[in-house]
Amino acid sequence: MSLPAGVWRSANAGLAQQARPLLLAAGATLDKASLLQALAEALQFPDYFGHNWDAAWDCLTALDWPPGDAIALLLPLEPGQAVDDDDLALFIDLLAEAAEHWQPQRRQLALLLLTERHDLPCLAGVPELNGPS
């Protein structure tokens, strides 16, 4: 099973396992530095990656994978985990725009935020994705 393109959230760990996504291991605190580092590691960005939002966009839009294939990313958000809401909002927007960028080329990019949290304002507009448990 692959995730639909775009950014989604779900509390369903079974859904995440079935999608077999790349784990974004961002650590105890989610902020710009940890999110960009996790993204760079998961997608094997080149050494010259500048660790800023523009550089992340450049690397995301220069990825190369076969048409019809999918890249699924998983970002767990644990209860009580320290999160910079503004940085996570920018990260969500970045991935949503990158997913949109790849769709006309028949390449599917998806981010699944695995969480039961409802305390983060940046998650309010992220659609819920449900599936088999």
In this predicted structure, the answer to whether residue 133 has a pLDDT above a threshold of 50 is no
Asked, for residue 46, whether it belongs to a domain, the answer is: yes
Give the domain range for residue 59: 7-112
Asked, for residue 128, whether it belongs to a domain, the answer is: no
Give the pLDDT confidence of 65-79 residue by residue, as tens digits.
888 888 999 999 999
Domain count, the chain: 1
Give the pLDDT confidence of 5-44 residue by residue, as tens digits.
999 999 987 776 666 689 999 989 999 999 999 999 999 9
Asked, for residue 86, whether it belongs to a domain, the answer is: yes
Asked, for residue 132, whether it belongs to a domain, the answer is: no
| CATH, residue 57 | 3.30.370.10
Q: How many CB atoms lie within 10 A of CB 13?
A: 12
Asked, for residue 127, whether it belongs to a domain, the answer is: no
In this predicted structure, the answer to whether residue 131 has a pLDDT above a threshold of 80 is no
With vertex at residue 96, the alpha carbon angle to CA 129 and CA 54, rounded to the nearest 5 degrees, is 150
Give the pLDDT confidence of 78-113 residue by residue, as tens digits.
999 999 999 999 999 999 999 999 999 989 899 999
Asked, for residue 85, whether it belongs to a domain, the answer is: yes
Asked, for residue 101, whether it belongs to a domain, the answer is: yes
